[in-house]
Chain A
Amino acid sequence: MIIAIPVEKDAKESLVSEHFGRSNYFLIYNTEEQEYKFIENSAAKSSGGAGIKAAQIVVDENAEVLVSPQLGQNAADVINEAKIKIYKAQVGTIKENLQALEEEKLKLLSEVHEGYHGN
């Protein structure tokens, strides 16, 4: 299973980002291979539609699970279309969230906020 998480820094001890579309990096974790990598979120600097572009990055990494504190409607449309499961992240580190996911303590993110779209 491939898990994607928006994170603040490209380091193992990083905190999970408060945002999805404008997070600094994404952690891509392959549970079978026990391999992880950080990819820069090129969507973060977009003037608009950052959530859509960030979702495209997650889709292109073949993620099957997304752990994120929140998600805008547009990003959710892309993620749902790709049939990626979305879990609500807890405030904390990558490790704490991966552990919580493994112990099935994370809930599915059913409350999707409307996004903060500007021009």
Chain B
Amino acid sequence: MGIKGKKIAVLSGKGGTGKTLVSVNLATLISEANYVDCDIEEPNGYLFLKPKNIKTEKVTREVPLINHDKCTGCKKCVEFCKFNALAYTSKLIVFENICHSCGGCMLVCPEGALSTKEREIGRIEIGKSSGVNTYTGFLKIGEPSGTPIIEKLLDRVSTSPLTSIIDAPPGSACTTMDSIKDADYCILVAEPTIFGAHNLEMVYDLVELFEKPFGVVLNKTLDGENPSKDLCVEKDMKILLEIPFDEELGRINSKGHILINESKKYKEMFGVLLNKITKEVGR
């Protein structure tokens, strides 16, 4: 058993809870692992892992290409598009940045006036940081949907014999769903606030919907009340680890250092987490 070849997704309902902290430290602790940064609007795991020998691949998606000579202005495509990416005045207009590449307009066009062209929406960078293979997605600013980038990232590790730690985007929308859909286990990271508990509930609903086994890491915990912990008790969620609100941690992290490389205390703490996850995944 064990977690070799398994995919472990780390997610949270909001940004800044500690997804990257957990992901980077777990990947480093496993040492021979894949770290996949699917937080494509703001990837930051590479700032800690500092990968070398980076190879870059472009990511494109298909958007409609209009043959104006064939278009008769029936507006069937305009009416079909749920994203309102098409308009017809004296000619058909495409808003490529709004298009979600569903291809529906091409299917409904009775004149065959629509075909496809490739639009570049971002890139992936593949590198190496000691034993950790890093896969980082970058979405171009202004692009509405980065799911093709996430699909490409996950495709690169789909048959890997190593453990893959997937650093998911915040929230519970399409890109998060794409990031966790092939995961064997999910780690939900939450802050000890009412807002944090609300966002934890969002991702809790998501992993339940996807029927994924999961556990919770409570980050930045303090003495006193923790609404996220209360929610874990209420919903019977397994708490894997509590990371204290700690100045030392903040200092190491803010310098872009990897916590477990700098602190024995945290190396032990993440060791306990990894053991628990290994047991959970093996169940």
Please give the residue numbers on chain A whose beta carbons come within 8 Å of chain B beta carbons, in ascending order.
43, 46-50, 52-53, 55-56, 59, 74, 77-78, 81-82, 117, 119
Select the stretch in B46-54, B61-69, B87-95, B260-268 that faces chain A.
B87-95
Residue B98 is within 8 A (CB to CB) of chain A in the complex: yes
By the criterion CB–CB under 8 Å, are A81 and B84 in contact?
Answer: no
Q: In whole angstroms, how far apart are the Cα atoms of A53 and B85 in the complex? A: 9
Q: How far is the CB of B97 from chain A (nearest CB, A)?
A: 8
Partner of B84, one of A53, A59, A82, A119: A53
Distance from B171 Cβ to chain A, minimum over Cβ atoms (Å): 10
Closest chain B CB from A69 CB (angstroms): 21
State A26–B87 Cα separation when bound (angstroms): 18
- Provide the bound-state CA to CA distance between A82 and B93, in Å: 11
Flag if A43 contacts B93 (CB, 8 Å). Answer: no
Please state if B89 and A49 are interface contacts (CB–CB under 8 Å).
Answer: no
If the complex has contacts A46-B84, A82-B90, are A52 and B95 also in contact, measured as CB distance less than 8 A?
A: yes
Is the Cβ of A81 less than 8 Å from the Cβ of B90?
Answer: yes
Contact in complex: B83, A49 (CB < 8 Å): yes
A48 contacts B87, C-beta separation under 8 Å? no
How many angstroms from the CA of A59 to the CA of B87 in the assembled complex?
9
Bound together, the chains give a CA A50 to CA B144 distance in angstroms of 15
Q: Are B85 and A49 in contact (CB under 8 A)?
A: yes
Tell me if B172 counts as interface (CB < 8 A to partner A).
no
Contacts of B85 in A (CB 8 A): 49, 52
Using CB atoms, name the residue of chain B closest to A55. B87
Which of B85, B89, B144 has the largest number of chain A CB atoms within 10 A? B89
B145 at interface by CB-CB < 8 Å:
yes
What's the least CB distance linking B39 to chain A, in Å? 15
Size bracket of the B interface: 10 to 19
Contact partners of A56 in chain B: CB under 8 A = 78, 84, 87-88
Enumerate chain B residues within 8 angstroms of A119, measured Cβ to Cβ. Answer: 144-145, 173
CB distance from B278 to the nearest CB of A (A): 36
Contacts A119-B144, A119-B145 hold; do A77 and B93 have CB atoms under 8 A apart? Answer: yes
Q: Are B90 and A52 in contact, with the CB atoms below 8 A? A: no
Residue pair B91, A81 in contact (C-beta under 8 Å): yes
Instruction: Select which of B91, B98, B145, B173 is within 8 A of A52 by beta carbon.
Output: B98
Contact A74 B78 (CB under 8 A): no
Complex CA–CA separation, A77 to B86 (angstroms): 11
B98's partner among A43, A59, A74, A82 (CB-CB below 8 A) is A74
Q: How far is the CA of A43 from the CA of B87 in the complex (A)?
A: 13
Task: Choose among B90, B95, B145, B173 the residue that contacts A49 (Cβ–Cβ < 8 A).
Answer: B95
B95 CB contacts on chain A under 8 angstroms:
49, 52, 74, 77
Contact assessment for A50 and B93 in the assembled complex, using a CB-CB cutoff below 8 Å:
no
Task: With a 10 A CB-CB cut-off, give which of B78, B84, B95 has the most chain A CB atoms.
Answer: B84
Could you say which residues of chain B place their CB within 8 Å of the CB of A46?
84
Closest partner residue, chain B, to A43 (CB atom): B84
Q: What residue of chain B has the Cβ atom nearest to residue A53's Cβ?
A: B84
B91's nearest neighbour on chain A, judged by CB, is: A81
Q: Are B84 and A78 in contact (CB under 8 A)?
A: no
Residues from chain A with Cβ under 8 Å of B91 in the complex: 81
In the bound assembly, the distance between CA atoms of A89 and B144 in angstroms comes to 31
Which 3 A-B residue pairings sit nearest by Cβ, starting from the closest?
Answer: A49-B84, A82-B89, A53-B84
* Chain B 119-142 residues near chain A, CB threshold 8 A: none
Known: A74-B95, A119-B144, A119-B173. A50 touches B84 (CB 8 A): yes
Residues on A with C-beta less than 8 A from B90 are 81-82
| Docked pose: A78 CA to B92 CA in angstroms | 10
Query: Contacting B89 at CB < 8 Å: which of A50, A74, A81?
Result: A81
**Nearest CB of A to B38, in Å:** 16
